[in-house]
Structure 1
Amino acid sequence: MRESGIDYEGVFQALPSAVLLLDPDLVIAEANPAYERVSGRPRDRLVGRHVFDMFPDNPADPAASGTRNLRASLQRVAATGERDSMALQRWDVQVPDRPGVFEERYWSTVNTPVLDQDGKVVLIVHRVEEVTELVRARGQGGGGDRQRLMEADLFTRAGELQEVNERLREAHERERGVALALQRAMLPPPKQIRRHGAAVRYRPAVGALNVCGDWYDLVDLEEGRIAVTVGDVVGHGLEAACVMGQLRSALCAAVPVADGPAEALDALGLYARSVEGAESTTAVLAAIDRKAGTITYSSAGHPPPAVLDPGGAVRFLDAATDPPLGARLEHLPRPQARTHYADGSVLVLYTDGLVERRGEDIYTGLGRLADCLTRHRTLGAEELADALLTDLLPCSGNTDDTALVILRL
């Protein structure tokens, strides 16, 4: 596979570390040449086999624990979607083509998940570094007793490290639980979204705590009109989510009393100056009048909303764009624009994670979005949201947060 001119398959083959790719059932999907060398087994004997069929514990050693420890690590990664670094392991390996003959080996192992766009584990990267020679070298010159003492010291330290890792993992899970509760509390309830016939999607960046600084909101206005907004705070994780919560709440309060989207974003910009971490936040706000068939909008440095016409044409609402919140030293009124739409049109608001890619012009991403909308123009809002994420986000997960709102008008 090639993206941005990089041959990722070539990179995998050239990795100096020994790497297996495992599916969630722990069947070997791929092995690189370095793994073939350290295991003494060719690729065609590895791929398609369960990892523990290929590398069982030494039956002659009742204290052998390599299989148990590795299985626990891999299952933990598959269940949580979190990376796991194992303590140093002694795992005797059967000599190739010599059944029942095992040789003493020592391994340092890291297991890392590969997630799809829905956060589901689709592969596990099992990377090993063999340190057998290092362990043996440290034991030379002191006889068998020194060797045993050295090994005991290594495994004592490894056990201590494993205990620290477990405590860190528990703390991380607690933090993640708090983050998810915070996220749910700050975003619109499902009933409000369904009432407006909207579809929303929220995808944190890979490696985040499943929370991010992107937000979306739908606000009821007078005479049956609604306002829809998306925004993007710089950064990821809890800090960005806390800033997002403050800005979203402030905008939600300003929208019903402001004279249009521009005035509401004006008020939000002034408020953002007092919120640490809110600098350079982008946001776009659109007010929809279904009776008049109009969209009134204003943007603070945000990617332009897209309107998909019933015939399949796509236009971007970019006539009222201004710098991000807090970007100006002097306060100036923000611009506002209005456009008409035909019955059956679709309004799409999103954050930059949907369209921007490193080293690529933003207009390339906007072109992909327009093409995707045209291809899937007959889909309902929910199906269209899924199609956009499937077509536009990398299979391995995005490096930026993504929020998406779709409204059939």
Structure 2
Amino acid sequence: MREPQIDHAAVFRALPGMVALLTPELVYADVNDDFVRITGRSREELIGRYIFDVFPENPHDDAAAGMRETRESMLRAVATGERDTMAVLRYDIEDSQHPGLWHEHFWSPVNAPVLGADGKVTLIVHRVEEVTELIRARGGPGGDSRARALEADLYARARELQEVNERLRKAHAHEREVALALQEALLPAPGPLGHHQAAVRYRPAVGALNVCGDWYDLVDLPGDCLAVAVGDVVGHGLAAACVMGQLRSALSAATRVADGPARALEALGLYARSVEGAESTTAATAFVDWGTHTLTYSSAGHLPPALLHPDGTVTFLDQATDPPLGASVEHSERPEASAPFTEGATLVLYTDGLVERRTEDIDIGLARLARSLGAHREAGPEDLADALLTDLLPPTGTTDDTALVVIRL
């Protein structure tokens, strides 16, 4: 059966209800027929113009906030790549035939982003239902007074809800900014590693509530040796970032004096018992000895480091895994294992944001990581780190942070 040829432009024009397409700069790109009819503006008055040049705020309404609330909702959709549904708002429209004459209107708007192939917002779908008649609804004798009271109550409650939502968004956005600033200050850039090469990456989760406690660290050890670690604190927000800072510093100090990665994690586990919010934190650390071409590693409930061999095969270092920090009531020695490496191999440590997806088994994510490593085995650490993020992270980002360390051995 032959598939029908659909004229999508015609379908868009005929959509019931008011629908407009705007650029991320809030300039009209297209509108449907109902948008033209209900607003009383021609397509020529709309297309190519900034939304609030066409529809300014009513200067005679001291309490008007429709323009500000609509603009902030649209900009949130652009910034987050997520749909933003607004509470009912009043937004008057000036009569195009009689300047200075404003008509009272109530609207229920939704702003949805359209993403391009690169995951960035290319358009905003602005869908609006006019609810003016619903707000003004009357019923039975004496309905006029009751209707005006109902209108005032509904509108006041809608505005209150919008204001509460806006305060919450601003509070969460501020917390996210503080947490990200703290993480940036605590997560070091790779220092000099002699003639060895390393790359690090940190990608925060999307959304105002999803700043987490991932960390990485690189520590020079005596001789031609290096310790590398990654960790992940359970929880979100500023509290998780603060716990992350304490645990990263503690592990960094323990690494400098401990006899191997397992002893360093044991010391971290003891310290974590005194830090509120540190329970169930995962961490993995590896000591690299270029003199003996040996990796010694240990993991506290963390995903296994990946060793990329020069021929493109990948070995996951999973022979020394123990429960997360604070998971055991009694203190016990943590396991430790060693693996040889050849010159030109690559060690990759990462947090679960790189490979874990809620709808998949973790083995699928690990297999995806191994394929990507094999495909880019000839790339240097910087290029390989970028390739892994491109291959493994969704274009729209993830709901978990991602920390990544790549070291050419």
- Are residues 1:229 and 2:213 paired? no
Superposition pairs of residues 276-287 of structure 1, within 5 angstroms: 276-287=276-287
Superposition pairs of residues 151-170 of structure 1, within 5 angstroms: 151=151, 155=155, 158-159=158-159, 161-170=161-170
Distance in 2 (CA, whole Å) between partners of 1:144 and 1:205 is: 51
172-181 or 361-370: bigger deviation = 172-181
**Partner residue, 2:174:** 174
**Partner residue, 1:192:** 191
Distance in 1 (CA, whole Å) between partners of 2:111 and 2:308 is: 43
Distance in 2 (CA, whole Å) between partners of 1:394 and 1:21 is: 25
**How far did 1:320 drift?**
1.3
Q: Which structure 1 residue ranges, 5 or more long, are not aligned? A: 1-12
Letter in 1 for 2:300: A
Distance in 1 (CA, whole Å) between partners of 2:296 and 2:192 is: 20
**Partner residue, 2:6:** none
Do 1:193 and 1:218's aligned partners in 2 also have CA atoms closer than 8 Å? no
Letter in 2 for 1:233: V
**Partner residue, 2:325:** 325
**How far did 1:87 drift?**
4.9
Q: Flag the 1:163–1:329 CA change in 2: closer, same or farther, 3 A.
A: closer
Distance in 2 (CA, whole Å) between partners of 1:313 and 1:328 is: 35
SS at match of 1:199: strand
- 1:122-164 alpha-carbon deviations (Å, 9 max, x no partner): 6656565553343132588657777666655655555555555
Do 1:38 and 1:130's aligned partners in 2 also have CA atoms closer than 8 Å? no
Do 1:230 and 1:283's aligned partners in 2 also have CA atoms closer than 8 Å? yes
202-211 or 153-162: bigger deviation = 153-162
77-86 or 244-253: bigger deviation = 77-86
- Are residues 1:270 and 2:270 paired? yes
**How far did 1:287 drift?**
0.7
Distance in 2 (CA, whole Å) between partners of 1:356 and 1:30 is: 39
Identity in percent: 63
- Are residues 1:261 and 2:240 paired? no
Q: Which structure 2 residue ranges, 5 or more long, are not aligned? A: 1-11
**How far did 1:215 drift?**
0.9
**Partner residue, 1:250:** 250
Q: Flag the 1:266–1:62 CA change in 2: closer, same or farther, 3 A.
A: closer
SS at match of 1:356: coil
**Partner residue, 2:356:** 356
176-185 or 300-309: bigger deviation = 176-185
**How far did 1:229 drift?**
0.4
Distance in 2 (CA, whole Å) between partners of 1:382 and 1:376 is: 11
**Partner residue, 1:312:** 312
Do 2:307 and 2:347's aligned partners in 1 also have CA atoms closer than 8 Å? yes
**TM-score, L = length of structure 2:** 0.76
**How far did 1:88 drift?**
2.8
SS at match of 1:181: helix
Distance in 2 (CA, whole Å) between partners of 1:107 and 1:407 is: 55
Q: Flag the 1:318–1:165 CA change in 2: closer, same or farther, 3 A.
A: closer
SS at match of 2:243: helix
Q: Flag the 1:175–1:400 CA change in 2: closer, same or farther, 3 A.
A: closer
Q: Flag the 1:382–1:56 CA change in 2: closer, same or farther, 3 A.
A: same
- 1:365-388 alpha-carbon deviations (Å, 9 max, x no partner): 111101111111222222211211
**How far did 1:104 drift?**
6.7
SS at match of 1:378: coil
SS at match of 1:71: helix
Letter in 2 for 1:109: P
| Root mean square deviation of aligned Cα | 4.4
**TM-score, L = length of structure 1:** 0.76
351-360 or 361-370: bigger deviation = 351-360
Q: Flag the 1:177–1:352 CA change in 2: closer, same or farther, 3 A.
A: closer
Aligned residues: 382
Do 2:84 and 2:112's aligned partners in 1 also have CA atoms closer than 8 Å? yes
